[in-house]
Amino acid sequence: MRTATFLLFLLAITGDANAQQFNPYTQKYEMAPAGSSPQYNPYTGRYQMAPPGSRPQYNPYSGKYELAPQGARPQYNPYSGKRELAPSDR
């Protein structure tokens, strides 16, 4: 019962800003902001879900280029345990 309550709480605070969206190029569902579409990342040679206006940006923590909105900064994602590029709050 506690687990179900906790999951409902998480869903309530996160809203639907990020939702699973189907990427037809990878044939998988990916977490992405609303309004995202598959975009080609020339550095990885793959399509990934990205919000409109995204461009490849270097992430010094991963050593790779990721598609992210202008001005994105590396932030720790506790779910993946990695620093990922995310839009800055400021």
State residue 84's pLDDT score: 85
Residue 37's domain comprises 17-86
pLDDT along the chain (90 residues), means of 10: 54 57 87 85 88 89 88 85 78
How far is Cα 12 from Cα 89, in angstroms, rounded to an integer? 20
Task: Evaluate whether residue 5 is within a structural domain.
Answer: no
Task: Evaluate whether residue 33 is within a structural domain.
Answer: yes
Mean of all residue pLDDT scores within the chain: 79
Extract long-range pairs of 60-69: CB within 8 Å, 24+ residues apart. 65/41, 66/41, 67/39, 67/41
State residue 5's pLDDT score: 56
pTM of the shown model? 0.58
State residue 61's pLDDT score: 92
Task: Evaluate whether residue 21 is within a structural domain.
Answer: yes
State residue 38's pLDDT score: 92
Count Cα neighbours of 71 within 13 Å in the Cβ-side half-sphere: 4
Task: Evaluate whether residue 27 is within a structural domain.
Answer: yes
